[in-house]
Structure 1
């Protein structure tokens, strides 16, 4: 079983996301802890939101008061509602949230039935519950629950997801070639992306861009790919490196196969509808670009926006780290195309999408973002450019991004060794 801990400030959004599952018969409320039941057993977003007010109002210093946790058994595990409830109670008690108000939602909209828990890290006395070692403690609890309830054990690879992350290229650190290699040699193993544009959107998170190079050799057209390092503003800061330096997975031929495989895989994945729902929810509950992107980031989704010289948005891509897939806005829905967001943020014309059943209520902890400074163009995922922190690092947010250790590898030497090996084989064949 895998647990994922989301830490944010948008309580209303977390509750609305889960309550919409219930209202569309794709979920159910399994347990209320420290939250009064209603007479008719029916709940609303406004009601749940109000139940947390006494806790949120006593502490305005803690920025990320909300805890949105998911417990995910293996799809092969058959877990009853009673077992889910017991697991949630034991998990929250051992994590230090046993006396906190929390709601346990069951989700059934995908083949992996799982639960979400919405709570707060602020006690009724206004003190913040310590969370410095949430991740290792959470992993230990999951291992114990697997044994207690006879669940499939998470694979060793899944258990280590939080221990290794892709690092963005830092051109000032030197050895740019090895830094690029440590990303591009492994990204296709973990992420689905159907086009070169979506691949570049993903690469942009790591200060890298890929460019096609076309030419002729012996009268035949030859297509190639080069990789270039970027600075924090998206400007090129290195010479181009041929894809062949980084192995076949980084080259055009193999990437074309990956694009086609990704298209087929993404046609049937339930992640599409889940992501679309999350984006529409963010549209409803935010009023500007900064808040929109921040809310999605807290849920493990990057928003990569492309603008022309006139600052008009001509492309928008969403990178879902939960399903590890990269989506163009218009591929998700025509109401999520670049033009729609350009009209919203450029011309103050908010997209018209079916309104949620409850009106939005602003939490006392939400801050007015009108005076926030504009983000730099390339700061789409700022926490990737810092060391992971216990408070709100990438690992804590959604499990981390896997990468094998690539330090110290000499990719030119590897390519040369392969070339010599091929020559020796040819010589032996001629003899």
Structure 2
């Protein structure tokens, strides 16, 4: 069981977020405690808010009076509604909120059922309920709940292994911000890339793209980064998410530092030589673009090809999952540039310049190199072996990304900064 306790001054926003899940049939109202009941058990956000009004009126000086708690059992734990209710009551009682008004929502839109609890942390006299050692107490209560209900512990080795595999963003599953967060927070720590284009190529494997934005505040030029979710066609299907929502390591400044650091580390990287051999051999044993991608996919190498509206290739990027390095084709050599591939494939045909078979090419690749080659891929890449016959790894693999251990709450404040910046540019 994993718990996250969120605090804010926006009670209405927390209620509206959960109520919207109910309206979209992606959640349900599981129970209420010390709340005003309706005859038909149907509730609006305003009706919920009435139950909290006396507490907020009595509030003395607590700025962040709203509690928004999520309780997330292991997905393998199949709990019924009654068990979820018992878990909520036990948790709130042990955390000191048992006598508070609260409403429990069950969410079912992320492939795993979990509950959200909305309450206030000031009592009926307006005094703040103590939150001393809250995180420690919450962890202890979660461990007690695991024992009480026979749940799979969140810290078990089995659960850790489950969190090691992550799927590309699927916008139809909802919780887009949470899906993007669990990927972009970790990619810079796992992969080496030197340019924004290479970073975007890597993101595209997870159905994400990033864009740079510029604005002006108090006469000062500001630069930033926004992220979008993509569909299977590579089209944007979400509102923009500011990088600040995902942490400072996902912003433009942090990425630029990452680029500079990696340029030095990749300058004489041995993977560059082995990758060039692998690409050359794949070209020699392929008859078209699809088989070329398949050849490299068999070696755990992804190819991201960008084309314009006239179907002309203007970018080719290679992603080697063994060494976790990302390379723009032209960085490897002129023969691997976008223009070179366009000329090779303009008739959807690649000239096979020698009769060497694929097996012999692979042997030559390994025998001619005087540096160690990883013979066995890391176990986290085992999923690649199951789909070698398919060409599009965007659809087939979950990747080496630690899964977010809790759901991210949506940002309720609508940000119009991007639209304002665009309007200012048009006026100039």
Task: Give the TM-score, by structure 2 length.
Answer: 0.49
Question: Which gives a bigger RCO, structure 1 or 2 (Cα 8 Å, sep 6+)?
Answer: 1
**Which has the higher Rg, Structure 1 or Structure 2?**
2
Task: Give the TM-score, by structure 1 length.
Answer: 0.48
